[in-house]
Amino acid sequence: MLTTSHAAPSAVSRASQMGVPLWAPPADSKPNILVRFLKFCRGCDDYVWNSFWRPSMDETLRRHGRYQFRPVPSQAAVVGLMAAWSELRKILLADDSFAALVQVNGEKEAADHFRSLKAALIWFRISLDEDCRAVEARRGLDAIGWQSILALAGKRDRAAERLIAGKAIVGLAGDIVVLPGSSQEGRS
């Protein structure tokens, strides 16, 4: 796996300019639906861990982007999401494994610890589908763009897989680009 710490800066710059972009982190000013959903999941997790000390669910979730969604997730939807908390934690672990993978000076074992975000999201949804307490959560996910979340997670996972296979590189901006010469094979 190549990152900016493993290659000369000029090589990274050339690869970023010549390579096909596979994944680019969204600008902080305009996060995509996946980033907003992951932030909201972190808020749900934060609330579960700290609910004794922070009894106001609304305040905790406000800081984690609850009101950035249209429609805003209802209280019943949030409770439904938390009914599948063990699967929600797996989403966060998958997100953390991706962050470790693209770290400039990340751990060498990060590739071995990588977890698919799309798979974690699918298992999360299956868990919600099997829980009668999560009806409102399922409706809420569909309303905010569940299919878009899955599509972006799949795109990010494919970029990570190419990175792990040595067919892509992490650029200086944290983007993942196909190395020149490997752009045609395995594109999806």
* Range in 10-14, 28-32, 90-94, 108-112 the model is least confident about: 10-14
pLDDT at 159: 95
Query: Taking all residues of the chain, what is their mean pLDDT, rounded to a whole number?
Result: 79
Q: What Å distances lie between residue 76 and 70, 134, 186, CA to CA? A: 16, 8, 42
Give the rounded percent of residues in the chain with a pLDDT score beyond 70. Answer: 69
Is residue 172 a contact partner of residue 25, using CB atoms and an 8 Å limit?
no
pLDDT at 140: 87
pLDDT at 16: 43
Q: Which residue's structure tokens are 């690869």?
A: 15
> What string of DSSP letters covers 40-108?
HHHHHHHHHHHTTT---HHHHHHHTTGGGSSSPPPHHHHHHHHHTHHHHHHHHHHHHHHHHHH-TT--T
Instruction: Measure CA 56 to chain center.
Output: 26
Angle 142-148-150 (CA atoms, 0-180°, nearest 5)? 90
In which element (H, E) is residue 132 found?
none
* Pairing assessment for the beta strands 176-178 and 168-170 based on DSSP bridges: antiparallel
Phi, psi of 178 (to 5 degrees): -70, 135
Cα 98 to Cα 110: distance, rounded to the nearest angstrom? 8
Phi, psi of 97 (to 5 degrees): -65, -35
On the question of pLDDT at 31 being above 80, the answer is no
- DSSP label at 6? T
pLDDT at 18: 55
Taking phi over 0 as left and psi of -120 to 50 as alpha, with beta for the rest, 44 belongs to alpha
pLDDT tens-digit readout, 39-71: 888 887 877 766 655 566 666 666 666 666 677
For the chain, the straight-line distance linking the first and the last C-alpha, in angstroms and rounded, comes to 20
* Range in 91-100, 129-138, 149-158 the model is least confident about: 129-138
